[in-house]
Amino acid sequence: MSNSRRTVDDVKILLESCAGGDSQQTVKFYNSWAETYEQDLEMLKYSGPHLGVGFLNANFSGNREEVQILDVACGSGMVAKLMFDLGFRHFVGVDGSKGMLECAAKTGLYQDLRLALLGQQPLPAQAGVFDLVVIVGALDVGFVPVSVVRELCHAAKPGGFICMVRGHYRGTAAEEYRKDLERELQLMEEEGLWSLIAVKQSDRYLVNLHQNAETDESHTQEESYIRSSVYLYKKSANQADRN
């Protein structure tokens, strides 16, 4: 089937084929998905990169041509492309999928791309180097564990920013992940590692592929969306990291 003839149902079937797999199966899936990844997400009206970059654009006042950006779970480079259009120039990308990193390399925007399966391998980033650390879409069950949030903070410079975007998926496991994440974010703030700048909610993150499972035909013309949150933290200026 040509890419031009793909449908939302095709993408739904594709994503369901990955559900419940272990980390190695997930990496294999993303390697195989890389070629049609951006087209498929556009079909699903995925807004994660736009939400995160838009929030940063509204809240960041530094010199965009000089700041160093760590793009975690960078995928094919969607975040970097949006940030480049806003004047940002220096990107390091990290992802667990070699196929995705190959797509990101084709953008020509990254000074370095690093392969790492977060949660099983440490975040491959020098401590206290980056002005901005961004992660969009990967903070969820089966992807990046909650413990990685501390590594994101560790990579930022004192006074640097950490921006995180995640969807509000349904289910017991997703709800437990959300609770664990919220506890960790609060604990890190209480420990003085960072301070919360703002949180923004969005009603339209991604088309809900299960929207019609329990609805009748009268609702099929109304698209339902997964909601999301964008978090922006500032690392405490007195946090001196050690490798």
CATH of residue 81's domain is 3.40.50.150
CA distance 10 to 7: 5
Model confidence band, residue 153 (pLDDT cutoffs 50, 70, 90): very high
| Cα distance between residue 100 and residue 94, in whole Å | 10
Top pLDDT among 93 and 22 is at: 93
- Residue 146 falls inside a structural domain: yes
Q: Is residue 158 part of a domain?
A: yes
Residue 61 lies in a domain: yes
Q: Is residue 14 part of a domain?
A: no
**What band does 70 get if pLDDT is binned at 50, 70 and 90?**
very high
Q: How far apart are CA 196 and CA 233, in angstroms?
A: 5
User: Does residue 90 belong to any structural domain of this protein?
Assistant: yes
Task: Report pTM.
Answer: 0.91
Place of tokens 């980390």: 23
Structure tokens at 4: 């031009």
What pLDDT digit, counting tens, does each position of 35-65 carry?
A: 999 999 999 999 999 999 999 999 999 899 9
* Minimum mean pLDDT range among 2-11, 56-65, 134-143, 211-220: 211-220
- The answer, yes or no, to whether residue 22 has pLDDT greater than 90, is no
Label the pairing between strands 90-95 and 110-115: parallel
Helix (H, G, I), strand (E, B) or coil at 4: helix
Of the two residues 61 and 195, the one the predictor is more confident about is: 195
Task: Measure CA 38 to chain center.
Answer: 14
Q: What residues are paired with 100 via a beta bridge? A: none
pLDDT at 243: 46
| β partners of residue 118 | 121
Q: Running DSSP on this structure, what letter comes out for residue 114?
A: E
Residue at 12 is within a domain? no
Three-state secondary structure string covering 149-195: HHHHHHHEEEEEEEEEEEECCCCHHHHHHHHHHHHHHHHHHHCCCEE
CA distance 69 to 243: 19
Q: How many domains does the chain have?
A: 1
Integer Cα distance of 17 and 79 in angstroms: 26
Q: What's the rounded Cα separation, in Å, for the pair 222 and 219?
A: 5
Residue 73 lies in a domain: yes
Supply the range of the domain harboring residue 56: 47-208+223-235
Strand partners of residue 195: 234
User: 202: which strand partners?
Assistant: 228
Which phi and psi angles does 92 have, rounded to 5°? -120, 130
For the stretch 201-232, pLDDT in tens is 999 999 998 764 444 343 444 569 999 999 99
> Which of 7-16, 48-57, 143-152 bottoms out in mean pLDDT, i.e. has the lowest?
7-16
Q: Is residue 21 part of a domain?
A: no
